[in-house]
A and B are shown apart, each in its own frame.
Chain A
Amino acid sequence: MRARFEPESFRLVIPSQTRYLNLVTGLAKRASMVAGMDDATSAKISIAVDEAVTNVIVHAYGGEADHQVDIELRFMAQSLEVHICHNGRAIRENEVVLPDPREYVKHPRKGGLGLLLMSRFMDEIRFIETGEGSECCMIKHVV
């Protein structure tokens, strides 16, 4: 398991059910403020967390409600790191294709916007496969 003593951090483990999303995003927003983000940035981080956790519930676990999603927020010196871990189907970085918003405007369709919001609202996003499962790591720097 990951070290939990340095840096300061806290974890939340939820069942893979969308009814917990608002709980997670509320915590992410408050944590962002504690990390020194302004209101607007905190709102963006909470949306990115909503999207990332939704991806795990809907895509990695295929909507199955009896799994767990492990969310850890780490308070770094100049940034907030959000680590979202699961044991479902992994998203590999080379599979990630961000849609072009200009194409969306020309050809409206459903789907594919979550990753785009995550990438626009966070400074860094990484998808990592560990021996214990898969992880989405998102980083926002304090400015």
Chain B
Amino acid sequence: MTDLSIQVRQVDAVAVLRPEGFINAHTVRQFETALEALVQEGRYTILLDCRALNYISSAGLGAIMGLIETVREHGGDILLCSLQKNVFEIFDTLGFTQLYRVFASEGEALQRLNGKD
């Protein structure tokens, strides 16, 4: 089993990035590279589907923080969905649930973001 694998797909206006495994100082460069590639391609609305993310350390949070201003300056955003309880607690403990919109499921997030509700 690899430490981290990342799938990316485009659903209408939203780039859905699904990390599987864990994001820490060892795997963060892979995560950061995937995020940066989306931004370089002009895909500024990014949904992190965290259903298969076992945990994220501050290294991973830093990678998200490092891009949030750039995507928002271009009218996009980084959003989260399907967080496991321990991952939600990490975001919530640091107050990040105020900074990022969090959705219960990918379906709910895509409906809202693609204006289909």
Contacts and interface: CB of A to CB of B under 8 A. Distances in A.
Interface of A: 18-19, 21-22, 25, 40, 43-44, 46-47, 50-51, 54, 57-58, 101-102, 104-105, 108-111, 113-114, 116-117, 120-121
B26 to A, nearest CB: 4
Contacts of B89: 40, 43-44
Interface residues of B, number: 26
A68 to B, nearest CB: 17
Interface of B: 3, 22, 24-26, 55, 57-59, 61-63, 65-66, 68-69, 85-86, 89-90, 93-96, 98-99
A114 B58 contact: yes
- Mostly, the B contact residues are helix
A95 to B, nearest CB: 18
15 contacts: A22-B24, A22-B26, A40-B89, A50-B25, A50-B57, A51-B57, A54-B58, A54-B59, A105-B95, A108-B65, A108-B68, A113-B58, A116-B58, A117-B57, A117-B90
